């Protein structure tokens, strides 16, 4: 069987996720000491694949995984797994709930069971460990009436029994894992595409990225920012979207997005997990459906209005520069704008006369705006 690397030790939720994936995809789970080791061994071929946590519904993103995805070359996301986090109270056989003096676990696991511990073991001391597996190992190796919060696989791995099932406070806790490989292989449906990019340092840069997806009705299922590691305030963005990179509307959006980025890396195209499949707009209502088309028009209208607002803000700055001048109107500049608008209209199969009329209204409004601002400055 092919080797599947996971973040150890045995008994962690990463181990549970690896067992689930290995069972369904014919892999042999291999314990790794760090996330960096998983990426390194997949890259050099020692592992056929790797399974790494990327986000938790309560704890948020796993920053180290995101950083490695953005920097390690020739590694792609080939799948995802949604693992419900089920925390259990584990103890040595024969230990009663009322006798427990200490509860061991990772800080996140303890936080997820805070109410349960308070209500059922108010006198017990809470002790933090480096992992849920380390907590289980500590309890298994002691003769004291101690307990650990951990997974079912931790109980099996260290010879403990599940004293109380589902001791967590929130039943909706889920961790998302990513499958890693060296090949970009998935071409089926339903697909999800993940990418990371760096935007140009200018006003509205991120907005220009997001609008390309919105205008094409491409659903973004996640967007996450991470420090770029160069200077304070410099970020890169991770985006997950519903659809494959070879789908026409996704491919078209990506082409436009690249024009507004410093760099863009496709992290992978893979099958969306069963409980995370977002319905595609074109399948929920047909491309010829009137309501669907009207929503597209509304998006474009919103885009036009935002661009007009951006244009007016620049006009206000122009007025400040023109302070002290007698004339506001620059006829040569207006002719240049009209000429460019007509040419662009022809190239985009629009009526040049209609576009010219629109621009003349815009220019007239700009002149009126500048005259008002300059009068207020006198």
Annotated active-site residue in 16, 65, 132, 175: 175
Taking residue 374's Cβ as centre, other Cβ atoms within 10 Å add up to: 16
Task: Select from 202, 210, 161, 158 the least CA-distant residue to 310.
Answer: 202
**Residue 178 token pair:** 């990513």
Task: Select from 303, 199, 193, 296 the least CA-distant residue to 257.
Answer: 199
Annotated active-site residue in 13, 39, 177, 213: 177
Is residue 284 among the annotated active site residues? no
Task: Select from 199, 181, 150, 175 the least CA-distant residue to 62.
Answer: 175
Residue 88 has phi, psi (to 5 degrees) of -120, 155
180, 230, 302 from 9: Cα distances, Å: 19, 34, 52
**Rounded Cα distance, 70 and 197, in Å:** 9
**Rounded Cα distance, 293 and 299, in Å:** 10
**Rounded Cα distance, 252 and 75, in Å:** 24
Is residue 177 among the annotated active site residues? yes
Q: Residues 20, 152: contact at Cβ < 8 Å? A: no
Beta bridge partners of 198: 263
Residue 203 has phi, psi (to 5 degrees) of -60, 135
**Rounded Cα distance, 126 and 141, in Å:** 18
Number of Cα atoms under 13 Å in the Cβ half of residue 187:
3
What residues are annotated to the active site?
Answer: 175, 177
């Amino acid at each position: 069987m092919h080797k599947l690397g996971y973040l150890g030790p045995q008994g962690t939720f990463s181990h549970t996720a690896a067992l689930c994936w290995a069972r369904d995809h014919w892999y042999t789970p291999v314990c790794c000491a760090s996330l960096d080791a998983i990426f390194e061994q997949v890259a050099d071929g020692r592992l056929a694949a790797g399974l790494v946590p990327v986000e938790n519904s309560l704890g948020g993103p796993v920053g180290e995984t995101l950083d490695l995805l953005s920097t390690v070359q020739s590694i792609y996301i080939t799948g995802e797994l949604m693992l419900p986090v089920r925390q259990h109270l584990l103890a040595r056989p024969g230990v009663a709930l009322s006798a427990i003096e200490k509860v061991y676990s990772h800080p996140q696991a303890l936080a997820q069971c805070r109410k349960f511990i308070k209500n059922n073991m108010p006198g017990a001391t809470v002790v933090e460990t480096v992992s849920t597996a380390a907590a289980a190992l500590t309890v298994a190796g002691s003769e004291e009436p101690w307990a650990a919060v951990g997974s079912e696989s931790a109980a099996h791995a260290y010879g403990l029994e599940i004293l109380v099932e589902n001791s967590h406070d929130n039943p909706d806790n889920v961790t998302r894992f990513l499958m890693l490989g060296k090949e970009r292989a998935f071409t089926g449906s339903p697909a999800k595409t993940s990418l990371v990019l760096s935007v140009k340092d200018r006003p509205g840069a991120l907005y220009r990225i997001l609008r390309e997806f919105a205008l094409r009705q491409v659903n973004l299922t996640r967007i996450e920012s991470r420090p770029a590691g160069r200077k304070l305030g410099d970020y890169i963005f991770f985006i997950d979207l519903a659809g494959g990179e070879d789908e026409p509307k996704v491919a078209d959006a990506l082409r436009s997005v690249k024009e507004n980025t410093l760099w863009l890396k496709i992290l992978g195209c893979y099958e969306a997990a069963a409980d995370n499949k977002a319905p595609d707009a074109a399948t929920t209502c047909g491309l010829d459906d009137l309501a669907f088309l009207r929503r597209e028009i509304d998006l474009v209208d919103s885009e036009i209005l935002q661009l007009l607002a951006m244009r007016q803000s620049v006009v206000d700055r122009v007025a400040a520069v023109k302070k002290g001048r007698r004339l506001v109107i620059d006829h040569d500049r207006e002719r240049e704008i009209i000429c460019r608008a007509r040419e662009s209209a022809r190239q985009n199969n629009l009526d040049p006369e209609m576009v010219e009329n629109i621009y003349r209204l815009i220019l007239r409004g700009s002149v009126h705006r500048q005259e008002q601002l300059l009068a207020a400055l006198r």
